[in-house]
Amino acid sequence: MFEIKAKDNMGRVGVLKTKHGDVKTPALMPVIHPRKQEIDVGKYGADIVITNAYLIYKDEDLKKEAIEKGLHELIHFDGPIMTDSGSFQLSVYGDVEITNKEVIEFQELIKTDIGTSLDIPTAPFVDREKAESDLEITLERAREAVAYKKEQNMEMLLNSVVQGSTFLDLRRECARELSKLDADLYPIGAVVPLMESYHYKDLVDVVMNSMAELSDTVPRHLMGAGHPMIFALCVAMGCDLFDSAAYILYAEDDRLLSTRGTYKLENLQEMPCSCEVCTKYTPDDLRAMPKEKRRELIAQHNLHVSFAELRLIRQAIYDGNLMELVEERCRAHPALLEAVRHLGNYSKDLEKYDPRSKKSAFFYTGPESLCRSEVIRHVEKLRQMPKKRDLVILPPSRKPYSKFVSGKLGEFYVYGAQKELDLEDTDFMVLDIPFGLIPLEIDEVYPLSQNDAPKTRDVDAIEFAEDFISEFVEYYDQVLIHKRVVNDLELGLYEKSDFSDEIRYHKDDVKKVKAIADYQFGVGAGDALFSGNINIEKSKKTGKIRHIYDGKVLIVNMRASDSYLILSKEGAKRLHNRMPYPQNRVVVNKDSEPFALDGKSVFCKFVVTCDENIRAKDEVLIVNEEDKLLAYGKALLGACEIEQFQTGQAIKTRKGLKK
């Protein structure tokens, strides 16, 4: 029913399959009023819409027509339709004249594609007793709806809504209990008041705590979120679907949506975008029109802006620069900026879903970038890497740094016990923003060379580098810090070294590939892979390492775009023999074993378990439950998703080991 096509952080491009067609996510579902709708939203880009089943149920004429003709003909939309159960009316009026079973049965009767149980929307910041009471009813009704759907063998997909107000433990409890059910989608409800009051920081808490317990195998829908200003942030947190009547409600009030906020027509001197409406009409033209015509045109603009933003977000996911877009969009309002900074507290949750290598370079856009997955991951990897006795810290230069470091390296200041420098027992690293320190041996690995930051550093970046260096030097007996680094960071308590002018860096390709292997596969991988008569072949055009052999036997290839190592048959065997179980492994069941040996792709439903550190695009070993090596290939999903999905490919197998 749902398949992931591309990912970046928790954001994903997916396909939701329904009986009235497939929907590419993330997607916006414009709200269609069953009686008042006058705009053909499909004409302006809507692949799926949402309407209110309870309003239809309460109107005898609409009810009769919906039962006779079906929902799609009633609202004149051929694509997938989701229906709300009346929960909105329940939150506004306190009661509805329909039971949970009745509304489920009615949604199936009128042939909705995605129905919703009658949850209890609990407003933010209510007292805990009410939140717990409402949550109990919501869970009871969700269980009843799922059981009733199975009992009646219904075709429609079913929403089960996450509630719990702003009590984060209740949100997690609700999401955890709902994930035990066999529902098809999980909306996150009762968040509109947070968005209307600009409590975006609280929205981050609600969404991230809900996501922590929801299954990755189904779409997640943020109910009532319809302003394009927040789409990027919410997609980065894992939201796949949005719904809103904002496009028409704002138009009724002569307000135009944009990714930077909302414009009042009365204040406009210029039209805000390049859509058909904005290029054809001026603000004066719109102000002079009859209300009905003006409302329709502004609604068209609002839909255009919303769908354009979602297209941009999907492309950002494909390219791997979603967080740059998030950081850009969240500068549109101080409350959004606070929200994206608060999202940094969930960096480890985001990292679990983030591929290690991407198409786009890493661009530092501000202090928020210091909390991105790439930075968190590098810092953790660097802490795990084997350390030598001494450390030399160099200032940044052109990238890749190792290519442009040569000769005498200049004046240094010393930290720790002063000893004669042993170049064979010294790590050479470069100060870098935003990655702290980058060892020269691994500096070509993505994103350590594929990144850029302003030359004028902000205070947060300087403090980050200072703190990182202060912590990292404690691993070494002696640390020599280049004079430029000390001056740039205003580091104190260092004495000038007497032998600094003699320091030179000597490139060693074998050490380089071993360090990359340790960084990519884990400490010990370098020695595991590169023993024997190591022969390194480089590109004649670029000088980059291309192939690494033991004699004439290929061990690995090095990918030119990101310098990650691609295993050969021999490399896979060596890695498997030396690296402990379950490191770098995907374990498949007996049914899948012969297909893996034949080099066929591994599907999620055949995976028993896998290394929790696997991320999408990682090189992995495919083994059986006795840890026999069957094949090797590239992960298409991260460990979290591989273990949860029961459909779709998990690993694109490169080669099976069938004799």
Active-site residues, by number, are: 84
Residue 462 vs residues 114, 393, 485, 491, 609: alpha-carbon distances, Å: 50, 15, 11, 11, 42
State which H helix or E strand residue 222 sits in. strand 220-222
Q: DSSP of 282-346, one letter per residue? A: -HHHHHHS-HHHHHHHHHHHHHHHHHHHHHHHHHHHHHT-HHHHHHHHGGGSHHHHHHHHHHGGG
- Encoded tokens for 48: 């799926």
Strands 607-610 and 585-588: antiparallel
Give me the torsion for CA of 304, 305, 311, 315, rounded to 10°: 150
**Alpha carbons 40 and 123: distance in angstroms, whole number:** 32
248: nearest Cα among 315, 299, 283, 203 = 299
**Alpha carbons 171 and 162: distance in angstroms, whole number:** 7
| Partners of residue 49 on adjacent β-strands | 81
Judge contact between 340 and 368, C-beta under 8 A.
yes
- Encoded tokens for 98: 């329909």
Phi/psi at 18 (5° precision): -130, 170
- Encoded tokens for 421: 């420098």
Neighbours of 510 (CB within 10 A): 12
Is 401 exposed, middle or buried, given 0-12, 13-18 or 19+ CB atoms closer than 10 A?
Answer: buried
Neighbours of 155 (CB within 10 A): 12
**Alpha carbons 133 and 53: distance in angstroms, whole number:** 25
